[in-house]
Amino acid sequence: MPTASYILFGLATVWCIAWVARASRGWIMPLLLMASGAVHWLLADQGYYRNVVSFPPPQMALLVPLIIGMVLLFALPGGRRWLLKADIKALTALHILRIPVEIVLHEAYLKGHVPKAMTYSGHNFDILTGLSAVFSSSMTTSATPAGLLIACGVSITSTPSTFGPSSTARSAFW
């Protein structure tokens, strides 16, 4: 991978941490995300995720902490209060990071590191969500209904056409 890809992905990571900090109005969530990322980075570096035939697949380790965290956020009254205080404009701006991530994924596909289905070449148009976030975040205010932003995001990513999941349901293998 070219050095520019690493730089672009690093900038996307910084963008993510900054906007999560702003959205959550603190550094607890960004620190948790960084700690989780570090653990998974170490696991990946040790080859933990290379076993694709075991059951359950080791990639499930990526989902377990997220599922537990989401259940706790919705189950606990303090978690629900925290979610309701999130900055909707910052959460929308966070999705702009999809643009550099998709560019890096496309470069990784060209180098044979990821399957085509994960890129816009394989009709995965997450980059459109990132591009729409540029406009949405500039027009979002604290009075903007969250449901409207969610509906826009869902309509972009789930339209049954070459832009939706029906086109990405193809084989995830090269």
| Confidence check: pLDDT of 142 > 50 | yes
d(CA 165, CA 37): 26
Predicted local distance difference test score (pLDDT) of residue 133: 83
Is 64 within a domain? no
For residue range 6-36, what is the model confidence (pLDDT) as tens digits?
999 899 999 999 999 999 999 999 999 899 8
For residue range 86-109, what is the model confidence (pLDDT) as tens digits?
888 888 889 899 999 999 999 999
Evaluate whether 153 touches 95 at the Cβ level (below 8 Å).
yes
- Residue 13: its H or E element: helix 3-24
Instruction: Give the pLDDT mean for 51-69.
Output: 83
- Closest by Cα among 96, 113, 95, 94 to 105: 113
Counting beta carbons within 10 angstroms of the beta carbon of residue 20, is it exposed (0 to 12), middle (13 to 18) or buried (19 or more)?
buried
d(CA 23, CA 167): 32
| Confidence check: pLDDT of 156 > 80 | no
d(CA 141, CA 137): 8
Is 117 within a domain? yes
Mean pLDDT across the chain: 81
Counting beta carbons within 10 angstroms of the beta carbon of residue 124, is it exposed (0 to 12), middle (13 to 18) or buried (19 or more)?
buried
| Backbone φ, ψ for residue 2 (5° rounding) | -70, 155
Note if the pTM is more than 0.85: no
Instruction: Give the pLDDT mean for 119-136.
Output: 82
- Closest by Cα among 68, 63, 130, 44 to 95: 130
Total tally of structural domains belonging to the chain: 1
Evaluate whether 113 touches 1 at the Cβ level (below 8 Å).
yes
Is 41 within a domain? no
Is 101 within a domain? yes
Predicted local distance difference test score (pLDDT) of residue 36: 87
Is 11 within a domain? no
Is 167 within a domain? yes
Is 123 within a domain? yes
Predicted local distance difference test score (pLDDT) of residue 12: 92
Predicted local distance difference test score (pLDDT) of residue 51: 79
Q: Which domain holds residue 125?
A: 87-174
In the block, residue with structure tokens 């449901």: 147
Is 94 within a domain? yes
| Confidence check: pLDDT of 173 > 60 | no
